[in-house]
Structure 1
Amino acid sequence: MKSVSEKPACKQATVKRSRLLLGVDGGGSKTAALLASVNERGDMQIIGRGSGGPSNLRLAGKEQSLQSLDKAVDEALSDAGVAGQELDCAVLALAGSTAPGVQQDVFQWAMNRSLANRVEIIPDVNPVLDQATESGRGIALIVGTGSVAVGTDSRGHSVTKGGWGHWFGDKGSGFYLGYKALAAVAEASDEIGPETVLSDLVLQELETTDPRGILTEVTASGNTRCEVAALAPIVLRAAAAGDAVAVDIANHAVSEAVKLVEAVSRALAFDSPYPLALAGGVACRNVFFRDRLMHELEQLQPPPASITVVDEPVQGCLTIASEMLRSSRATTRLRAD
């Protein structure tokens, strides 16, 4: 795998002699875009970054999702100083992109703005899975706003567990943590559940003094899923401080996430340790959750042979785009021969 460097001082000189690649990672809460240049030797250099809101068309809606994609891509192009220049390849890893009609909508958006000469739309778990499956065998677990696990075996068989969405799925996710916290606050307010520090923390976060005002606050933006998931850090902070209710919520969330990995391993009949990749804000950026998650994963039979934390899955999109570029060059040379 080629190394990726980030040297903004060389932007303009590099862009003039290199191919331009775009990687986009879009989920239920945010979208990240990276622009990179690749020279003739295949060395990749990140030259622009951008970010936007949620871009899961299935859950955030078409209009908001495409606006998020526009914002992230435009920021990356502007950051690189190449707005208006032709891009050679774009790889977009989007949550919910396997739903009917989603890829068509995104391809139409890409065509309307002449995004790149070649555009590839893939599920958001694919770049993460690539980090764990150099030999074609492994599992990826994403625990962010939502939750999903995907695995492949050495024969190329693929299995997905989770990824159902927040209405009846997303167990162990940021939404799950926030939902459970709100339920605990409601029960404490009704005096049918134990007291918890979450009551004060949630009210402070939502800037209301009345528990009955919670519903108004979490629905005000129109994206209730994101508002609820945004409470996850509060739950985990309270758990780390020892609040019994928050600890119970966090432990249950970890168990639900581990179940997804166990289900994938069982479905693929793994009988020996396998590489595992972790991604998503909840799994990667919260030490309290991540430590417990890794401990529970290591108790599985068979356990992961290794656990790779993928902090920036969008980097994987650039790797895929680079491989596509090399493949197209090889095909061109073969045809010329």
Structure 2
Amino acid sequence: MKWIFGIDGGGTSARLSAESLDGIETAKLETLSMNPRSVGWEGTRLSLRLLFRALKEEESFPLDSCAAGFAGVAGIGRTGDREKFLAILREETGLTCPLEADTDALPALVGALGSREGILLIAGTGSIALGSRISNPVLVRSGGWGHILGDEGSAYDVGRRGIAAALRYRDKRGQQTLLLDFMLAHFGISDPFLMIPEVYENFDKAKIAGFASQVGRARDAGDKVAEGIFESVAQELADLVVSVAEEIGETEGERRISMTGGLVSNDNKLSKAL
């Protein structure tokens, strides 16, 4: 039985879906993030190993019967990174079938819009906007620079801003905010000074991004500091979309814009503001 697979390698986790060509047999698996910018190339290798080890236990999907596969992975948008990822994938699996890989934003665009005509905003752990036209399929992107150089408007950005605001309030340099108590509870600490080893010795981008939900909780409770964070974030995300729209120019039909990612999908107020 021939089968195909797709990998969605986001900033927080990685998922693999396999399906027989007749659509009868399916498998869905999930494991650790494989973004090489976050977990390193050895982390990418480990994630792939875990996924395909689990898939091997599914008797319906022998590796020598794979017809083709595609991986959309955060952090491999550059040409050299795509080739390196594919080399690791083949080393870990022994697959000889046709394989392709690109940034996770590309399948997200086509999946959301049904074609390459339009604009997609992704705001999850990271943030990026991209778009293209059918007549000129070159992918235009804005953002996606990672949590050190960019990712403005992402869940990580919201979480980091929320932590910074909490610490400013602790220092009496900032406005009163619920975020200090929320931060202590989220990270399971009793002393704000414990944030130093929490961040600098045990850095976990996903955990900081996870604090975005608590910033949203504070906003919903009327916290002015949290409201200001979300107002700024909405503008950052809007700027991403506008910059892509200006570069791709007029589309051949009605311009379509779609939004995805955990931050906008799980926060109705933010998605409405956008």
Alpha-carbon distance in 1 for matches of 2:134, 2:83: 31
CA distance in 1, matches of 2:260, 2:163: 25
**CA separation of 1:116 and 1:286: change in aligned 2, threshold 3 A:** farther
Q: What is the CA distance between 1:183 and its match in structure 2?
A: 0.7
2:5 is aligned with 1:22: yes
**CA distance in 2: counterparts of 1:287 and 1:71, whole angstroms:** 34
Q: What are the ranges of 5 or more consecutive residues in structure 2 without an aligned counterpart?
A: none
Q: Which residue in the other structure is 1:207 paired with?
A: 188
Residue 32 (structure 1) aligns with? 15
Distance verdict in 2 for CA 1:246–1:74, change over 3 Å: farther
Secondary structure of the structure 2 residue equivalent to 1:55 = coil
1:233 and 2:213 aligned: yes
What letter corresponds to residue 195 of structure 1 in structure 2? Q
User: Which deviations, in whole Å up to 9, do the C-alpha atoms of 1:97-144 show, x marking residues without a partner?
Assistant: 123532232112222122451111011111121135546420111111
Contact 1:35 1:80 in 2 (8 A): no
Q: Aligned-pair distance for 1:164? A: 1.0
Aligned-partner residue type, residue 243 of structure 1: D
In 2, Cα distance between equivalents of 1:184 and 1:76: 44
Alignment-derived partner of residue 55 in structure 1: 34
- State the secondary structure of the residue aligned to 2:229: helix
Once the two structures are superposed, what CA deviation does each residue of 1:229-279 show, in whole Å capped at 9, x if it has no partner?
121121122222322211211221121111101111111223774112222
After TM superposition, the score normalised by the length of structure 2 is 0.90
Q: 1:45 to 1:214 in 2, by over 3 A?
A: farther
Are the equivalent residues in 2 in contact too, given 1:90–1:119 (CA < 8 A)?
Answer: yes
Change (3 A) 1:138 1:46: farther
Alpha-carbon contact 2:64-2:95 (below 8 Å) kept? no
CA contact (8 A) 2:69 2:99 kept: yes
Take 1:290 and 1:70, find their aligned partners in 2: how far apart are those partners?
36
Aligned partner of 1:185 in structure 2 is 166
Equivalent residue, structure 2, for 1:320:
none
Output the TM-score relative to the length of structure 1.
Answer: 0.74
Amino acid at match of 1:147: S
Distance 1:135-1:147 versus aligned 2 partners, 3 A rule: closer
Equivalent pair of 1:35/1:77 in contact (CA under 8 Å): no
Q: Does 1:111 align with 2:94?
A: no
Distance 2:224 2:62 in 1: 52
Is 1:91 aligned to 2:70, yes or no?
A: yes
Tell me how far 1:62 sits from its aligned partner: 0.7
SS at match of 1:270: coil
Deviation at 1:158, TM superposition (A): 2.9
User: What is the root-mean-square deviation in Å for CA atoms of aligned residues?
Assistant: 2.2
1:128–1:278 contact (8 Å) kept in structure 2: no
Instruction: Name the amino acid aligned to 2:36.
Output: L
Counterpart-to-counterpart distance in 2, 1:214 and 1:257: 28
Q: Percent identity?
A: 27
Q: Determine the C-alpha separation between the residues in 2 that align with 1:207 and 1:136.
A: 44
SS across alignment from 1:88: strand
Structure-2 separation of matches of 1:263 and 1:70? 38
